[in-house]
């Protein structure tokens, strides 16, 4: 049975190791077995746990994307309501800039 570090498991899943560590910290992903080989504790992932994560990750809503999508839907409904109320206008004509010619000294 192979065991993987958090970095190796994240690489297998195609996400950043910091993202996986953050998901463990905030409780979105169950923490695997920990061992302390030196000073720092290290999470040790089995193949079954990595495959379980592969099924779980699509269900985890990324807060930034969710807020962005929600904001976009609100903006699009506001724009569609605004377009219904106002009538399209003709574009304003722009004035041409006049350039001054330099006088040459004879």
**19 domain residue, yes or no:** yes
Q: Range of 44's domain?
A: 3-59
Instruction: Read off the pTM.
Output: 0.55
pLDDT tens profile 64-81:
555 555 556 666 666 665
**10 domain residue, yes or no:** yes
- Number of domains the chain contains: 1
**23 domain residue, yes or no:** yes
H-only helix segments in 1-106: 6-13, 17-26, 47-56, 63-85
**39 domain residue, yes or no:** yes
32 in Cβ contact with 49 (< 8 Å): yes
**54 domain residue, yes or no:** yes
**64 domain residue, yes or no:** no
Say which CATH number the domain at 34 has: 1.10.1660.10
List average pLDDT for each run of 10 residues in the chain, which is 106 residues long: 89 90 89 86 90 86 56 61 61 73 66
């Amino acid at each position: 049975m192979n065991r993987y570090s958090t970095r190796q498991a994240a690489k297998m899943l195609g996400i950043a190791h910091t993202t996986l560590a953050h998901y463990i910290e905030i409780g979105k992903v169950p923490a695997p077995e920990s061992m302390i080989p030196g000073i720092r504790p290290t999470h040790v992932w089995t193949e079954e746990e990595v495959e379980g994560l592969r099924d779980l990750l699509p269900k985890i809503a990324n807060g930034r994307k969710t807020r962005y999508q929600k904001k976009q839907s609100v903006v699009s409904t506001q724009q569609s309501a605004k377009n219904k109320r106002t009538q399209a206008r003709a574009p304003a004509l722009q004035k041409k800039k006049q350039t001054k010619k330099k006088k040459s000294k004879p």
